């Protein structure tokens, strides 16, 4: 059986930065540190950080006074920031810089007097954070049908921003519907959507041209991982989202000669390798790496974490 591995796959720069913030905070300040929401949407990552001393909470009220507090990669509403400030919590912000860019775009459009439309999925933490950052009413749409239902005059001065993990194709369709309806519309180009989302989706489309089965490694609550699976289905390839190799169903492999393997932006490479090992238990496997984009983007850590933690002194035994 051939296993073709998508390129790129797995961790993006925003996820790497967020995880490093938690790890370095634990090194510098000691355990526990408190993280509001899962730092990224992957249970394996969260559980590893929990073993190191991170405590994940959904409400700032769960964080003791004075405890080091980290905001997840998805971003938070301004009200959460204000609450942390009012309590004097020492905060490290792990919001992905590309999500922060969306926040800045939204604020800029509102400052210019435009009504803001957010293309995204209701209930997703990134969407909740963006809607709470803008400081004005935000209209959320996720489909062409939602655009038609917007209670806004067609000549209103409007602007849009997007959730970073959405499908480029789906977003393009919604933007086209906005352009068709509103005569005074501004917004970023489709290419302004998260680079990692675009690269991983393009790689999956290419992968699906040559495989009989697509496996996407990622968590069920990961928006970008779910979208990768959906793209496989749209391409006519049986496609499954699995957390790790333990979720591989041998029945999926019947008659399959080539398996496509990728991972969402919050899934570590070790889980991809775990899936390959699971495949090896059912068949002889030949692994091939696809050609694709090589990502070399890095995002800077907060200033407090750019210097290494001081080394702990080792007490002499006197011998």
Give the confidence band of 4 by pLDDT, cuts at 50, 70, 90: very high
Q: Does any domain span residue 160?
A: yes
Looking at every residue in the chain, the average pLDDT score rounds to 94
User: Residue written as tokens 């699906």?
Assistant: 208
- Residue 319: the pLDDT is 34
User: Same domain, yes or no, for 137 and 186?
Assistant: yes
Tell which wins on pLDDT, 317 or 31.
Answer: 31
User: Same domain, yes or no, for 6 and 70?
Assistant: no
pLDDT tens readout for residues 266-292? 999 999 999 999 999 999 999 999 999
pLDDT tens readout for residues 295-304? 999 999 999 9
| 58, two tokens | 């959904």
Query: CATH number for the domain including 30?
Result: 3.40.50.11270
User: Same domain, yes or no, for 184 and 204?
Assistant: no
Domain tally for the chain? 3
- Residue 61: the pLDDT is 97
User: Same domain, yes or no, for 180 and 201?
Assistant: no
Classified as helix, coil or strand, 229 is helix
Q: Is the peptide bond before 8 cis (omega within 30 degrees of 0)?
A: yes
User: Same domain, yes or no, for 37 and 81?
Assistant: yes
Q: Does any domain span residue 170?
A: yes
- Residue 269: the pLDDT is 97
User: Same domain, yes or no, for 246 and 271?
Assistant: yes
Query: CATH number for the domain including 221?
Result: 3.40.1010.20
Q: Does any domain span residue 317?
A: no
**Is the pLDDT reported for residue 214 higher than 80?**
yes
Q: Does any domain span residue 264?
A: yes
Cβ-count burial 292-316 (b if 16+ within 10 Å, e if not): beeeeeebebeeebeeeeeeeeeee
In the set 38, 58, 62, 126, the catalytic residue is 126
**End-of-domain residue from the set 137, 165, 192:** 192
- Residue 317: the pLDDT is 38
pLDDT tens readout for residues 37-83? 999 999 999 999 999 999 999 999 999 999 999 999 999 999 999 99
Q: What angle do CA 19, 91, 138 make, to 5 degrees?
A: 90
Q: Does any domain span residue 231?
A: yes
Give the residue-averaged pLDDT of 255-271.
97
Domain that holds residue 43: 13-96+301-305
Catalytic residue status for 209:
no
User: Same domain, yes or no, for 203 and 131?
Assistant: no
User: Same domain, yes or no, for 113 and 184?
Assistant: yes
């Amino acid at each position: 059986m051939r296993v073709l591995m998508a390129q790129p796959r797995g961790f993006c720069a925003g996820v790497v930065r967020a995880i490093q913030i938690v790890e370095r905070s634990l090194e510098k300040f000691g355990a526990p540190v408190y993280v509001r929401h899962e730092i990224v949407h992957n249970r394996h990552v969260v559980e590893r950080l929990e073993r190191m001393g991170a405590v994940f909470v959904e409400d700032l009220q769960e964080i003791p006074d004075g405890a080091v507090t980290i905001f997840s990669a998805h971003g938070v509403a301004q009200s959460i920031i204000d609450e942390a400030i009012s309590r004097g919590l020492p905060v490290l912000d792990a919001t992905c810089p590309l999500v922060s860019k969306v926040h800045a775009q939204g604020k800029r459009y509102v400052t210019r007097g435009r009504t803001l439309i957010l293309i995204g999925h209701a209930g997703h933490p990134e969407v909740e954070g963006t809607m709470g950052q803008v400081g004005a009413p935000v209209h959320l749409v996720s489909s062409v049908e939602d655009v038609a239902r917007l209670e806004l005059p067609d000549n209103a001065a409007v602007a849009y921003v997007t959730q970073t993990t959405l499908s480029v194709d789906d977003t393009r369709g919604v933007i086209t519907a906005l352009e068709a309806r509103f005569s005074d519309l501004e917004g970023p180009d489709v290419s302004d959507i998260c680079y990692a989302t675009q690269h991983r989706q393009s790689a999956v489309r290419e992968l699906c041209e040559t495989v009989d089965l697509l496996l996407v490694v990622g968590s069920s609550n990961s928006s970008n991982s779910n979208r990768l699976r959906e793209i496989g289905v749209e391409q006519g390839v049986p496609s499954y989202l699995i957390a790790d190799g333990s979720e591989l169903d041998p029945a999926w492999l019947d008659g399959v000669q080539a398996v496509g393997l990728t991972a969402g932006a919050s899934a570590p490479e070790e889980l991809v390798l775990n899936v390959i090992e699971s495949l090896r238990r059912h068949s002889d496997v030949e692994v091939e790496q696809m050609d694709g984009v090589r990502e070399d983007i890095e995002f800077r850590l907060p200033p407090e974490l750019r210097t290494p933690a001081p080394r702990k002194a080792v007490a002499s035994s006197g011998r």
